Structure formats: C-alpha cells, structure tokens
C-alpha cells in the first residue's frame, strides 16, 4: 500500500520555488518538464492528473503558462499566500538577472565572454525543449487518437502557421468529439499500470482541497480587487508623470500585451516588436533581437524579454536625466514586469477555484485532455523554431553552424541517454561556449 504524503510546509515550498526561479531555463517546455519531474515524480506533491488539469487551464489563458502553472500549484498547496510566493519567485530572479544583463549590454557594449555563454546555451536549450516534449508525450499520448491530435497540432502550427488559439480551440473540440463517440481514446493509465507505485501524492486525483472552495461571490471579489490594483497603479503613474509619459505608456501598452499573449511569448513578440521598435522607438531592432537571445538563455518565462525592453526604454528615454540612466532603466523594467504579470496572478487567484470545481465534470475533462495532446505538438514546433535559428543564424541562405549542431547533439545525448539534470547540461554548455569564445574569438 502506498505511503501517504504529509502536508508540505510553507518553508519547504518557498525554498523549492526560490530554487526553481534560478534554474528555470529552457523556456516554457523546459520549465514544465522541470516542474513535472520534481513535483509529480520526485516529491509527489500532486498527482499526474491534477498537474495536467492545472496545465490545461493555464494553456487556455493569455500569459506565460509555466509561471501561471507554478502560481496554480502554489495556490493548491497554500492558498493565495502560496500562489503569490510561487508566482513571484518564478519571475523575480529573472527580473534581477535581466536587468543586470541589460545594464552590462548598454553600459559596456559587446562582452565576448557573454556572447560565448549565449552561443553555448542556445543549442542546449533546443535539446531541452525536445526532451521536455518527449517526457510530456510519454505521459499524455497514451492512445492513437491523442497522438494524432499532437501530430495535427504540429502540422497546423509549423506547416500552415495557424494561430495558437485556433489550434487550442480545435484540440478542445477534438477532445469533446472523442469524449462523446470514442471515450476509450481519452483513457489515462493508472499509476499502477504505468509502473509508478511510490509514495501516494499529497494532492491526488480524487482528493478535494481546502483551497478549492468556489463561489461566484469570491470570483467577483477577486476580479474587483485585481481591477482596483491595476487602476490604482496606472492612476498613480498618470498623476505623477502624465498620461503621455514613457512610464504611463509602458504600463498601458504592456497591459494590452499581457492580455494578447495567447500561445506564449512567440505569439506576442511580433506585437511587442512592432510597437516598441517601430511605433514608440523605445529600442532598435538589433537591441530587440539581442534581448530575445538573453531572454532565451536566462531563467524565467521567455516573456521576461519585456523586462529587457523596459530597461532599454527607460535608459534610452533618460527618464531621470543622463546622470541616472541605471535608475531609469530599473524603474521602467519594474513597470513593464508588474503590468505584464498582474493579469496572470488575477487569472489564477480568481479562476483556479472554478477550475477545481469543474475537475470531475466530463464536459470539461474531454476538451482539456485534447488540449494537452495538442500542446505536445506545439512544443515540438518550438524546438524546431529554436533549432532553425541556432543552426542557420543567418537564414537558410547563410552558413550552417556545425559547431552548434555538435553542441546540441551532445546536450541531447546527456539528457536522453545519460539522464543528466537540465542544470548540469546548461552549465556544461555555458562553459563550452566560453571556451570556444576564448579559443575562436567572437562567435
């Protein structure tokens, strides 16, 4: 008989979320893989089905799904306090690291050693995304129909450039059809059947949770509080700096961007690029590309690249004069980060109780299972996207990067064959990139 877990202490959860904030490399796919491996397989804080149910909900929301999933799990464990701790610690390390890197980038120009680190990490990130897709596929694609949904999602997004919301909607519809006519194709093997028979998870498939009590009054109250916080924050900026100031315009624009980020960071980056580079001219196209490279190679959600955008905007606009560029950059970065992630916390605090209340309703589980299958295909497409720009940095007409290929293959071998941790692989890739920059010169 499986041994039942005891309650997770707030201190233990805090230390885990803090650690995750510093090691969450690899974009959403790598971050989801990390959380699944640690929370479902090792620590057994929640079951496979509870993890996937939460993941399905976050995939339907605008915003960074990995950060929202961490917030959701933190809420499951310790209520609202746990949600703010998990979600906040997921982004704070990245905020400070990207702000520091943005300052180095702007104040000291090209740093060959930093370029070497980025060069080494990019192929490893590609391997990590593929590894995460493989792990998620093993856990979710248990039937031919679910595998077909994943393949169709990959073809739709990679071959026909279909928008992510449309793919998710089609996958949910596919899950609804399967639930009605072929329910056996949605079956998930039990833990015993899949060979997982260790400690029973703290939050299992059947247990209700004390934090999950839902009422419409609580939902409306949470929404009202979130809106009041947003109004107070943007009202304060308007009162102090004026509506047309850079500070207030950053807050307004990134609020809109946060509500349009369906499909992850890559879905919204063209929108951010168009406004930040072409409309507001807060930064140049080259700076935007460099910021994306830094965002890919630092912990935290990839959408944290907006922190870099904010820092450069504050610096270039000289908000506090030419003698206080660093302070201006930090303030603008903080404004952008706050208004980008405020909706994410609101969606979880307000919506999670409703989602938990729907967990046992078949009308929701079928579509959400279809969404999970489609996500596997979308993650594979992300790996292909990374791989293309890593191996052909100048496009197909440019030179093929054989060294990047070898680094990626080595990272993949370490992950798939020798089961090395993601952190070890990234550390080794960073060292390899630095050594190459020292031997070869600028990469």
Q: Taking Cα atoms as reference points, which of 367, 369, 377 lies closest to residue 155?
A: 377
Report percent pLDDT > 90 for the chain: 40
Domain coordinates in residue numbering, the chain = 112-184+214-440
203 φ/ψ angles, rounded to the nearest 5 degrees: -110, 100
d(CA 200, CA 6): 10
Confidence of residue 271 (pLDDT cuts 50, 70, 90): confident
Report percent pLDDT > 70 for the chain: 86
What integer is the mean pLDDT of 145-154? Answer: 94
| 250 close to 319: Cβ distance less than 8 angstroms | no
CA 247, chain centre distance (Å): 26
- Residue 260: the pLDDT is 66
Residue 28 CB-density burial (10 A; 0-12 exposed, 13-18 middle, 19+ buried): buried
Q: Which residues fall within 8 angstroms of residue 83, CB to CB, at 6 or more apart?
A: 71, 72, 74, 75, 345, 348, 349, 352
Rounded to two decimals, the pTM is 0.73
Which position has the higher pLDDT, 270 or 379? 379
Q: Which residue has the tokens 């209520």?
A: 79
What integer is the mean pLDDT of 336-342? Answer: 96
Tell me the pLDDT tens digit for each residue of 401-418: 999 999 999 999 999 999
- Residue 23: the pLDDT is 83
- Residue 334: the pLDDT is 97
What integer is the mean pLDDT of 224-243? Answer: 96
Confidence of residue 210 (pLDDT cuts 50, 70, 90): very low
Q: Which of 59-68, 227-236, 263-272 has the lowest mean pLDDT?
A: 263-272
Query: Looking at the DSSP assignment, which residues form a beta bridge with residue 203?
Result: 46
Tell me the pLDDT tens digit for each residue of 53-102: 888 788 778 788 889 999 999 999 999 999 999 999 999 999 999 999 89
Summarize the chain as % helix, strand, coil (round to 5). Answer: 75, 0, 25
| 392 close to 402: Cβ distance less than 8 angstroms | no
- Residue 408: the pLDDT is 94
Centre a 10 Å sphere on the Cβ of residue 230 and count the other Cβ atoms it contains: 17
């Amino acid at each position: 008989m499986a041994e039942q877990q005891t309650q997770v202490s707030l201190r233990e959860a805090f230390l885990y979320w803090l650690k995750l904030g510093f090691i969450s490399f690899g974009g959403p796919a790598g971050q989801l893989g990390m959380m699944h491996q640690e929370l479902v397989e090792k620590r057994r804080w929640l079951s496979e089905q509870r993890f996937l149910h939460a993941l399905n909900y976050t995939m339907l929301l605008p915003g960074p799904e990995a950060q929202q999933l961490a917030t959701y799990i933190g809420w499951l464990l310790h209520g609202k306090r746990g949600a703010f701790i998990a979600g906040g610690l997921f982004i704070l390390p990245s905020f400070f690291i990207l702000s520091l890197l943005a300052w180095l980038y702007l104040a000291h120009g090209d740093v060959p050693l930093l370029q070497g680190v980025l060069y080494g990490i990019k192929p490893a990130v590609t391997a990590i995304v593929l590894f995460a897709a493989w792990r998620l596929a093993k856990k979710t694609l248990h039937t031919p129909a679910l595998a077909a949904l994943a393949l169709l999602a990959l073809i739709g997004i990679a071959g026909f450039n279909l928008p992510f919301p449309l793919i998710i909607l089609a996958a949910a519809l596919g899950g609804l059809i399967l639930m009605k006519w072929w329910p056996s194709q949605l079956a998930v093997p039990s833990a015993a059947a899949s060979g997982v028979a260790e400690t029973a998870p703290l939050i299992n498939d059947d247990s209700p949770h004390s934090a999950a009590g839902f009422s419409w009054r609580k939902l409306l109250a949470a929404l009202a509080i979130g809106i009041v916080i947003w109004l107070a924050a943007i009202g304060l900026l308007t009162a102090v700096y004026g509506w047309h100031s850079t500070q207030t315009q950053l807050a307004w624009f990134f609020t809109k961007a946060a509500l349009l980020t369906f499909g992850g960071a890559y879905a919204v980056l063209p929108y951010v690029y168009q406004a930040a580079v072409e409309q507001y001219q807060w930064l140049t196209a080259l700076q935007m590309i460099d910021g994306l490279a830094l965002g890919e190679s630092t912990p935290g959600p990839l959408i944290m690249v907006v922190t870099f955008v904010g820092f450069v905007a504050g610096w270039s606009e000289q908000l506090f004069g030419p003698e206080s560029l660093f302070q201006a950059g930090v303030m603008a970065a903080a404004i952008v980060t706050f208004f980008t992630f405020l909706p994410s916390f609101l969606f979880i605090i307000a919506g999670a109780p409703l989602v938990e209340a729907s967990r046992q309703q078949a009308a929701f589980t079928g579509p959400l299972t279809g969404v999970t299958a489609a996500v596997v295909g979308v993650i594979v497409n992300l790996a292909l996207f990374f791989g293309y720009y890593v191996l052909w940095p100048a496009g197909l007409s440019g030179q093929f990067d054989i060294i990047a290929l070898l680094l990626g293959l080595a990272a993949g071998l370490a992950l798939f064959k020798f089961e090395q941790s993601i952190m070890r692989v990234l550390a080794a890739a960073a060292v390899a990139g630095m050594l190459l920059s020292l031997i070869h010169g600028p990469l």
